[in-house]
Structure 1
Amino acid sequence: MAPSDRDGRRSGEFPSREQILAFLAEHPGEAGKREIARAFGIKGSARIPLKRILKEIEAEGLVVRRGKRLGTPGALPPVAVLLVTGRDADGELVGEPVNWEPEDGPAPQIPIMPERHRSPGPTPGVGDKVLARIADGPPGTETGRVGRVIKVIARKPTAVLGVVRRVAGVPGGRILPVDKKQRTELMADDEALGDAEDGDLVEVSVQKAGRYGLPQARVAERIGSIKSERAVSLIAIHAHGIPHRFPEAVLEEAEAAKPARLTGREDWRKLPLVTIDPPDAKDHDDAVHAEPDADPDNSGGFIATVAIADVAYYVRTGSALDREGLLRGNSVYFPDRVVPMLPERISNDLCSLKEGVDRPALAVRMVFDGSGRQIRHTFHRVMMRSAAKLSYQQAQAAIDGQLDDQTLPLLEPVLRPLWEAYACLKRGRDAREPLDLDLPERKIVLTPEGRVDRVIVPERLDAHKLIEEFMIQANVAAATELEKHKTPLLYRIHDNPSVEKLEGLREFLQTLDISLPRTGNMRPSQFNKILARVAGTGNAHLVNEVVLRSQAQAEYSPANIGHFGLNLRRYAHFTSPIRRYADLVVHRALIRALGLGKDGMPEGFEARLEAIGSDISATERRAMAAERDTVDRLIALWLADRVGARFTGRISGVTKAGLFIALDETGADGFIPAATLGQDYFHYDEAARALIGRATGETHRLGDAVDVRLVEAAPFAGALRFELLSEGRYLKGAGKRPPSARGASRGKSRPERGRKTRK
């Protein structure tokens, strides 16, 4: 029905002021003069009185003009750009319309939520601008409206971090950016530098960037001396915006917490649970115990118990501690420090399962049959007392026959049953066939002064695998229990590899004469067969790396799609609530589902799970990037005095611009620009992950062993630049090997060959 008919206006009649205002109210922020004329059939000269009426009602304040659109004062359009201004008392993001006019009154504070029925995308943060659909909010929403994020359209400008360089007697100074992507230095006069001294790490804002000369900057914050032992990780903390100072309200709440009592808990203090952690661990959030199942109907079975620190008792929903935990999402681990999710009073004291100290815990007792299949489980809220604090190496040494005063009395009653139970669980793991990548992790060992002493690859012990498998099974039990009770939860999900990534992997494997099945649904076991085929060969590390890159990234979500890598249908993080907010959510869900106390997940909290999952998935990615950047900077700082030295390594990445190199000795990453490789035009073969010379056929492929020379180290940017010393391989029929290549001996520099790259 046309507007004229709906409004009771006879065809051909001019609309009244009331009809025009009613139309604008029905179409907030969508209509202007053209839309009104079209809606009411106003044509030709009749538009002149329409224009006059619109000016009158605008002058009277009955409508407001925003560009070419008219609307009622205070009305929100169906889609708006919102500036994320902060968080409410529940820790939810709130924003306000960017184009809000002051005369319309105070800007509404609109809760910001992810768009429904969309996979998690980029998570907005305070200071970002988002395009949002304005929709009806859930009951109790202050404005009655929420903004559902369609996309993040502008990120908050990140401050530039740099190192001050001043010369005595020379006014002003330069600032060297620490971001490896920002190579341009900045200038600052004495007034802009303030009290910043040579060698200080500072946060600056760019004041002016002209066509000529270096950009001008002003110091916004003096962070500290770059010469201090903890400066390198501090760079990553500031660069990635990681909250690292607890507000006073959070610290006060933590200090006021009192130890939990036995009331309402099962007394498990006589059960010899033990913690097994790295030797330098400061918090202990999981303890384990195992024994053979005495049930004659379960011959060869085991009972495995995992007790987890009861963080939910101390961190209540909506408290200052809870809001800060959600903001941080997780703890962040650097070689020289930890940025904890919760204050040390909670993480290192009240919730740490210390040896011989009463501690509250949420425990799961799991029964496995002889094949290692979990057949049942029960959850308990308990008071426990750790029988021993052991390191992985100490526990493994005891099993291997190297006992000390602490492990001698624990060997038969505690450690031996744990290893026997692990052998049982391992049978179940082997039958499940999770993705089995072989990519050893390197660890940086620091001197007492905070500098790199050496880089090692820690030995992968059965003690590590035991704890890992016990934790996986506890996580499965948590997800299964909550599903049984139909209680909302955050799953740890890991999607199947995308079709595009599988096709790229398939093309790469064909260059190694390895085929990847073209089946609809890949399973981890199919990848494992490929990995087994190359195990022990020169291509083993390469294939493991490429298979890893083909995988999706794990996330947190209330919608379960399973965990591809672990080959599990349901999986939820339950075992580390001290350092992961997701686990705290699962603990609260279990407390609510099983009636274990009044501090469980509150009613209505499930509406927030999608947004929380998106937020903490983003903080996890942020932590990984910060940890990786810190390692790069530490190693670059360590290698800075070895410019000119030769190293062996492998090609860890290939792009049109050049080759990324990972050194064998340290795992340090560096770059070789394609322009420095020598003569010939190189083209990038994406399927082969290689740069291939058009005339010569000389090929540099992902995974190839190389000899390189370090020519530049930029410690604060974490960047290394190498020069290639060794030759590539030559493909048959790809071109004629030039005399210069045939005569080049391994170890001679070849930058004079002036090679170019075809884009």
Structure 2
Amino acid sequence: MARSPRSGRKSRSGARKDTKIAKKKTEAAKGRPRRFKIPDPYAEREAKKYERPIPSREAILMLLQEKGVPLSFEEIAAELGVSDPVDLEALERRLKAMERDGQLLRNRRDRYCLVNESDLIRGRVIGHPDGFGFLKPDEGGEDLFLSPREMRQVFHGDRVVACVTGIDRRGRKEGSIVGILERAHERVVGRLFVERGMAYVVPDNKRITHDVLIPEDYLNGAKPGQIVVAEIVEQPTRRNQPIGRIVEVLGEHMAPGMEIEVAIRAFDIPHEWPEEVLAEAARFGTEVPEAAKEGRVDLRKLPLVTIDGEDARDFDDAVYCRPTPKGWRLIVAIADVSHYVRPGSALDQEALKRGNSVYFPQQVIPMLPEVLSNGLCSLVPDEDRLCMVCEMLVDREGRVTRSRFYEGVMRSHARLTYTEVAAMLVDKDPAVRARHEKLLPHLEELYAVYQALRRQREARGAMDFDTDEYKIVFGEGRKIERLEKVVRTDAHKLIEECMIAANAATARFLDRKKVPYLRRIHDGPDPEKVADVRQFLAELGLKLPGGDTPSPADYMQVLKAAEGRPDYHLVQTLLLRTLPQAIYSPEKKGHFGLALDAYTHYTSPIRRYPDLLVHRAIRHALAGGKAKDFLYSEPELKTIGEHCSMTERRADEATWDVIAWLKCEYMQDKVGEVFSGVITAVTSFGFFVELQDIYVEGLVHISTLGQDFYHFDPLRHCLVGERTHITYRIGDVVKVKVARVDLDERKIDLVLIEPLAPAKPQPKKAASRRRRRKRKNAA
């Protein structure tokens, strides 16, 4: 009989029996550090977080680094001096969590070792619909190419450890998966098919290229063609496909509302509330008790107001402004979610799991139960609410000269919409102004401070891209009636500038107090992409200054020069593509787009978990706490930041998928109709066209462009005909016909009706000059 590698230790069931006995002991009262064999520099922090603290992650990493060899569970426990059954069980959970987070790796001999950063790369798998994939390193840097053979054993989203095996023909680093740290999918959603007696589910998420086999005993009454949820019974391996069991039948393919049900499950968005979470939220009641208001600054007489969209239901920020001799006093009051959601509670764990609220058309998956998100934490009018306050002094030039933070209790004086505020302050609508006569003087001051903040934003060179947003308007039966372009007014910008000022002030405050926190980081542009864009802009007669590291002001200079030109949209799109996506991290980096050295998110704790952590950091600093006794260490914040960045991307992808589904559904009865449109993107296989007036995008495939061979120019972002010299690029207006709509693939195929006019052949002298210029540049 094979001996278990942990047979020297009590079984889990035995340990659990001993737990009841151990819990009766009063060895470690909460808040008092415990002593183990190895000194733990983070013992005080662990004692504040847990009733029975065990050695911290840092202590375990220090032990493995000191020993220099892999250690078994028993050896780690012995070296640390952990012997109590309760502590052993907690240590096992901690080691598994460290393994899941990529801090440790367990080898084939069941021993834990450190991940060697120079040899192994931790990261998350990004699947491609064509079968291959990439590993996005946790530490940043170049992605690792994963061949279809490597992708057989993983799903899109899995966290793995891989090593570099070589360079492929295209110059990309190629990798091999060494170990799987965390599986991203326990369930998949898709359509059920049965062929020759074999049932399988084709996942709706096209980044998952595995068909999930369903044994006959696991069909549970599901019928071919239905949308189902399959629980993964056996994960994929190099040799075997995944095997699943049908656990839920969502319904027929075209049922109303099916697109959101599919997206929620396809992207693994938590949407069901555990009973303990609902019970914990219900205990707070519906009104703020008087005891909770004690010791707070009373702002209830201050005419604070919320300004949001017409369909908003959770109000987490309120603003107020009054003039001072040198400028303005601006108050940004934010719902005090951290008062209710305490670290380690069921509410906190579920909020972390969700990471953020997800906003679908006409439906929201909130981060917190509605009794809090739409009730006790929402700054609804005429109700007492607890808040965390950022009070700022702003001078006439729009600079924040001083700021302070405190806990307050407030009472919103009005729930205003962007439309109302724009009508009052911009359009000077007398009827709307009369309706809010008492609030009008304060709103006028808000508008004045916004204009000063806006001037300061432009002075420091912060970016301000004019991107289009659209709103879906539904008719009966949840069918799209039309798409409307969202007009961004000064009311939107007013709130945006107030929130940016408060977020920046928060970052400066926490930096002064030296308390670690999750920052909102936006790195600068990629030098290679900048070089390509600069070369293309030169052909348009535009210049991007700044060398290899252009500043945000350099970007805005180019956009200002391109204003009014027909290719403005093209220039803006190419500049945007040089920039990475913003992320959450405790690293001391700035926000490139906003031209700020330090920035964080403080203003939306109802719908973003990083904001909730920032509120905890503020409360810790206000209580006189230091970095060493804060609940979260920098490694823990980094792990949370990576998770929240992932949930943010997940929410975006799920929302885009739902909108793409709805747009395809909207276009199904428009096959054969002709539209004018603007080219929005060009690829090697064709170009995408946004149809005018209805704001839906489709693909014109390169094979439909006529009798010519088209070359894709990646630097100029265009397709050029070899014989006709016809050029298609971003911003060109074309006439197209809707040829096909594929709801499963979320694709709309278009056919060009009127090709652009052929380009005039270049004179020989001009062509010769151009060749000489190219040779000179190459040299």
- Residue 663 of structure 2 corresponds to residue 643 of structure 1: no
- Residue 522 of structure 2 corresponds to residue 494 of structure 1: yes
Equivalent residue number for residue 317 of structure 1 = 343
2:155 & 2:609 partners in 1: Cα distance?
17
Is this contact kept in 2: 1:676–1:723, CA < 8 A?
yes
Select between 265-274 and 220-229 the one with higher mean Cα deviation.
220-229
Q: 1:230 aligns with which of 232, 237, 257?
A: 257
Deviations 1:606-657 (A, max 9, x none): 4411111111111111111111111111111111111111122222222222
Relative to structure 1, the CA distance from residue 180 to residue 497 in structure 2 (aligned partners, 3 Å threshold; closer, same or farther) is: same
Relative to structure 1, the CA distance from residue 87 to residue 408 in structure 2 (aligned partners, 3 Å threshold; closer, same or farther) is: farther
Is this contact kept in 1: 2:685–2:702, CA < 8 A?
yes
Q: 2:444 aligns with which of 406, 412, 416?
A: 416
1:281 & 1:323 partners in 2: Cα distance?
25
1:436 & 1:636 partners in 2: Cα distance?
31
| Secondary structure at 1:467 match in 2 | helix
Structure 2 gaps, min length 5: 1-68, 77-90, 124-136, 145-153, 164-176, 237-241, 765-779
Is this contact kept in 2: 1:696–1:734, CA < 8 A?
no
Equivalent residue number for residue 307 of structure 2 = 276
1:453 & 1:71 partners in 2: Cα distance?
62
1:110 Cα deviation from its structure 2 partner: 10
Relative to structure 1, the CA distance from residue 521 to residue 99 in structure 2 (aligned partners, 3 Å threshold; closer, same or farther) is: closer
2:159 & 2:760 partners in 1: Cα distance?
54
1:639 & 1:535 partners in 2: Cα distance?
33
Is this contact kept in 2: 1:194–1:219, CA < 8 A?
yes
Equivalent residue number for residue 57 of structure 1 = none
Equivalent residue number for residue 540 of structure 1 = 568
1:601 & 1:409 partners in 2: Cα distance?
49
Give the letter for the 2:424 counterpart.
A
Q: 2:405 aligns with which of 379, 396, 401?
A: 379
Give the letter for the 1:528 counterpart.
M
Equivalent residue number for residue 5 of structure 2 = none
Give the letter for the 1:331 counterpart.
S
TM-score of the superposed pair, with normalisation by structure 2? 0.72
Q: 1:470 aligns with which of 487, 490, 498?
A: 498
2:635 & 2:212 partners in 1: Cα distance?
47
Is this contact kept in 2: 1:93–1:126, CA < 8 A?
no
1:227 Cα deviation from its structure 2 partner: 4.1
- Residue 269 of structure 2 corresponds to residue 242 of structure 1: yes
Equivalent residue number for residue 56 of structure 1 = none
- Residue 364 of structure 2 corresponds to residue 338 of structure 1: yes
Q: 2:352 aligns with which of 326, 335, 350?
A: 326
- Residue 478 of structure 2 corresponds to residue 479 of structure 1: no
Q: 1:586-605, aligned counterparts within 5 Å?
A: 586-595=614-623, 602-605=630-633
1:313 Cα deviation from its structure 2 partner: 0.4
Is this contact kept in 2: 1:87–1:93, CA < 8 A?
no
Is this contact kept in 1: 2:156–2:208, CA < 8 A?
no
1:311 Cα deviation from its structure 2 partner: 0.6
1:186 & 1:647 partners in 2: Cα distance?
40
Q: 1:184-223, aligned counterparts within 5 Å?
A: 193-197=219-223, 200-204=226-230, 219-223=246-250
Relative to structure 1, the CA distance from residue 111 to residue 291 in structure 2 (aligned partners, 3 Å threshold; closer, same or farther) is: farther
Equivalent residue number for residue 119 of structure 1 = 139
Q: 1:425-444, aligned counterparts within 5 Å?
A: 425-444=453-472
- Residue 293 of structure 2 corresponds to residue 262 of structure 1: yes
| Secondary structure at 1:480 match in 2 | helix
Select between 472-481 and 513-522 the one with higher mean Cα deviation.
513-522
Equivalent residue number for residue 625 of structure 1 = 653
Give the letter for the 1:311 counterpart.
V
Is this contact kept in 2: 1:164–1:199, CA < 8 A?
yes
1:687 & 1:126 partners in 2: Cα distance?
30
Relative to structure 1, the CA distance from residue 669 to residue 186 in structure 2 (aligned partners, 3 Å threshold; closer, same or farther) is: farther
| Secondary structure at 1:640 match in 2 | helix
Is this contact kept in 2: 1:331–1:338, CA < 8 A?
yes
1:666 Cα deviation from its structure 2 partner: 3.2
1:451 Cα deviation from its structure 2 partner: 2.1
2:244 & 2:394 partners in 1: Cα distance?
64
Is this contact kept in 1: 2:314–2:373, CA < 8 A?
yes
Deviations 1:644-696 (A, max 9, x none): 11122222222222222222233322222212222122211111111111222
1:115 & 1:162 partners in 2: Cα distance?
29
Q: 2:160 aligns with which of 130, 133, 146?
A: 130
1:718 & 1:542 partners in 2: Cα distance?
25
TM-score of the superposed pair, with normalisation by structure 1? 0.74
Is this contact kept in 1: 2:200–2:211, CA < 8 A?
yes
Q: 1:570 aligns with which of 594, 598, 603?
A: 598
Select between 269-278 and 113-122 the one with higher mean Cα deviation.
113-122
Structure possessing the higher radius of gyration over alpha carbons: 1
Relative to structure 1, the CA distance from residue 714 to residue 450 in structure 2 (aligned partners, 3 Å threshold; closer, same or farther) is: same
1:682 & 1:430 partners in 2: Cα distance?
42
Give the letter for the 2:307 counterpart.
I
Q: 2:321 aligns with which of 270, 287, 290?
A: 290
1:396 & 1:524 partners in 2: Cα distance?
28
1:540 & 1:237 partners in 2: Cα distance?
37
Select between 401-410 and 707-716 the one with higher mean Cα deviation.
401-410
1:547 & 1:87 partners in 2: Cα distance?
49
1:93 Cα deviation from its structure 2 partner: 5.9
Equivalent residue number for residue 459 of structure 1 = 487
| Secondary structure at 1:449 match in 2 | helix
2:444 & 2:590 partners in 1: Cα distance?
33
Root mean square deviation of aligned Cα = 4.1
- Residue 279 of structure 2 corresponds to residue 252 of structure 1: yes
2:526 & 2:268 partners in 1: Cα distance?
31
2:72 & 2:497 partners in 1: Cα distance?
60
Structure 1 gaps, min length 5: 1-69, 78-85, 134-148, 210-214, 737-759
Is this contact kept in 2: 1:654–1:660, CA < 8 A?
yes
Q: 1:396 aligns with which of 414, 422, 425?
A: 422
2:95 & 2:384 partners in 1: Cα distance?
32
2:522 & 2:213 partners in 1: Cα distance?
46
Relative to structure 1, the CA distance from residue 486 to residue 240 in structure 2 (aligned partners, 3 Å threshold; closer, same or farther) is: same
Deviations 1:80-121 (A, max 9, x none): xxxxxx9968995654966546xx7xx879999997997347
2:634 & 2:213 partners in 1: Cα distance?
51
2:440 & 2:349 partners in 1: Cα distance?
45
2:410 & 2:570 partners in 1: Cα distance?
46
Deviations 1:543-590 (A, max 9, x none): 211211111211111112211111111111100011111111111111
Give the letter for the 2:296 counterpart.
R
| Secondary structure at 1:380 match in 2 | strand
Relative to structure 1, the CA distance from residue 601 to residue 318 in structure 2 (aligned partners, 3 Å threshold; closer, same or farther) is: farther
Give the letter for the 1:279 counterpart.
E
Deviations 1:233-289 (A, max 9, x none): 222221211111122222221112253521121111111100000111110000000
Relative to structure 1, the CA distance from residue 437 to residue 729 in structure 2 (aligned partners, 3 Å threshold; closer, same or farther) is: farther
| Secondary structure at 1:272 match in 2 | coil
Equivalent residue number for residue 696 of structure 1 = 724
Is this contact kept in 2: 1:91–1:326, CA < 8 A?
no
| Secondary structure at 1:730 match in 2 | coil
Equivalent residue number for residue 58 of structure 2 = none
Select between 448-457 and 580-589 the one with higher mean Cα deviation.
448-457
Is this contact kept in 2: 1:91–1:327, CA < 8 A?
no
| Secondary structure at 1:609 match in 2 | helix
Equivalent residue number for residue 634 of structure 1 = 662
Q: 1:730 aligns with which of 753, 758, 762?
A: 758
Count of residues in correspondence between the two structures: 628
1:645 & 1:186 partners in 2: Cα distance?
38
